[in-house]
């Protein structure tokens, strides 16, 4: 049962934000390991590369991540998945935080191959943990994560749903020039299982979560503020 007090909402929104920042850090680790990135990031890199070439201006992958998230929201709505506070926060900050991590050298840049493999794997593990943390408060899922939640609710395992979606965006990103490598293979075949691992470790059934829509959250907060007035 989620806390629907004002303090509870503040805590839940903080947890969502923390989880998304942690997930962005995990993604950043996979990027700086330079062993290939996840399918969605291959897509973002490829689009950013092409647009940079066309416009003559540097466009970072985090920016494309934000734009993609905004577009995927419409797909989520069409498939009748709730758009929550977490969905909006994800769209607004995830890509921007990733850009900050990549631009300001707050991530390790290992040179030895073994170290790069370790940081790449650590990145996926941290990313998966971040996904669990931000989804736990039941304020919605990020636009892209909502896609595999939609399939999971239709009795398709999280690992299969996520891997199937990402296989498609991987091909598109690869054709556009995104970075691929062993890290991409790990993401395609293991990321869904990593997320599933965190869910099972914390006994988190994503299909049973009753996410609040952003309208429900706004209504609840308004009622709480009215009572205090």
Evaluate if residue 158 carries a pLDDT over 70: no
Evaluate if residue 160 carries a pLDDT over 90: no
Q: What is the mean pLDDT of residues 132-136?
A: 94
Q: What is the mean pLDDT of residues 174-178?
A: 87
Q: Residue 162's closest CA among 186, 134, 191?
A: 191
List all residues 6 or more positions away from 202 whose beta carbon is below 8 Å from its beta carbon.
132, 136
For residues 83 and 76, the answer to whether their CB atoms sit within 8 Å is yes
Q: What pTM did the predictor assign?
A: 0.87
């Amino acid at each position: 049962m989620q806390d629907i007090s004002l303090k509870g909402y503040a805590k839940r929104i903080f947890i969502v934000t923390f989880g998304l920042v942690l997930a962005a850090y995990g993604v950043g680790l996979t990027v700086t390991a330079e062993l290939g990135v996840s399918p969605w990031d291959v897509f973002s890199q490829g689009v950013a590369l092409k647009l940079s070439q066309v416009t003559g201006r540097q466009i970072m992958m985090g920016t494309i991540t934000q734009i993609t998230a905004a577009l995927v929201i419409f797909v989520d709505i069409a498939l009748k998945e709730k758009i929550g506070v977490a969905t909006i926060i994800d769209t607004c900050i995830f890509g921007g935080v990733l850009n900050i991590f990549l631009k300001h050298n707050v991530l390790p840049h290992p040179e030895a191959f073994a170290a790069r493999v370790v940081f790449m794997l650590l990145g996926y593990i941290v990313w998966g943990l971040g996904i669990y943390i931000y989804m736990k408060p039941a304020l919605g899922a990020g636009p892209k994560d909502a896609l595999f939640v939609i399939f999971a609710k239709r009795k398709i395992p999280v690992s299969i749903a996520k891997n199937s979606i990402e296989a498609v965006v991987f091909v598109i990103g690869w054709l556009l020039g995104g970075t691929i490598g062993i890290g991409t293979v790990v993401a395609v075949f293991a990321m869904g299982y990593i997320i599933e691992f965190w869910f099972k470790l914390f006994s988190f059934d994503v299909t049973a979560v009753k996410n609040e829509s952003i309208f429900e959250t706004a209504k609840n907060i308004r009622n709480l503020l009215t009572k205090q007035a």
